[in-house]
Amino acid sequence: MDYQTVDTQVRALSELLRGADQATIAAEVDRLKNLAAQIPDDLWRARAVARAQRLPELITGPAAGTSEQFERAVQLQGQAASAQGTTQDRIAAAESAIRAIAELADQAPAREAGTILRMNSSLARLIEQLRVEGRPG
């Protein structure tokens, strides 16, 4: 038994078990943990057990943010994405939102900070797209 075998099964089950009941998911987590327990290397065994324990989250996805910072970051992202004006105005709005969202991530509860910070990736792609479209042809 090795980590890759457990990981492959976790990936497959994360798709197959969408909509499954909690008892079924818990049974699969237990089964995967038992497989992981057979890995001889301590480090890889621990990693495989941790991977198996993440199966419920992989099936349902991360919990939606509930903090004030999360809500504000969602608003900022939406405003920047739908900003009107010149290309430069839209780029400036997205850059401003990126800075504000990064600050909100720093202030947010630890469980939401990464999710908030990842909101900036869509804004970074928007900026790149606007720059490409704004280049003289």
Higher pLDDT, 90 or 58: 90
41-68 pLDDT, tens digit per residue, is 999 999 999 999 999 988 887 666 789 9
2-38 pLDDT, tens digit per residue, is 999 999 999 999 989 988 899 999 999 999 999 999 9
Cα gap 119→102, rounded to integer Å: 9
Cα gap 1→40, rounded to integer Å: 8
- In this structure, are 84 and 115 located in the same domain? yes
Domain boundary, last residue among 60, 82, 103: 60
Q: Which residues contact 58 (CB under 8 A, 6 or more apart)?
A: 10, 14
* pLDDT band at residue 136 using 50, 70 and 90 as cut-offs: confident
Which pLDDT belongs to residue 137?
A: 61
Range of the domain at 9: 3-60
- In this structure, are 76 and 20 located in the same domain? no
- In this structure, are 97 and 125 located in the same domain? yes
Dig out the tokens for 73 from the structure: 């970051």
Q: How many domains does the chain have?
A: 2
Q: Which residues contact 96 (CB under 8 A, 6 or more apart)?
A: 80
What does 79-109 look like in DSSP terms, one character per residue? HHHT--S-HHHHHHHHHHHHHHHHHHHHHS-
Which pLDDT belongs to residue 64?
A: 67
Closest CA to 53 of 24, 91, 25, 23: 25
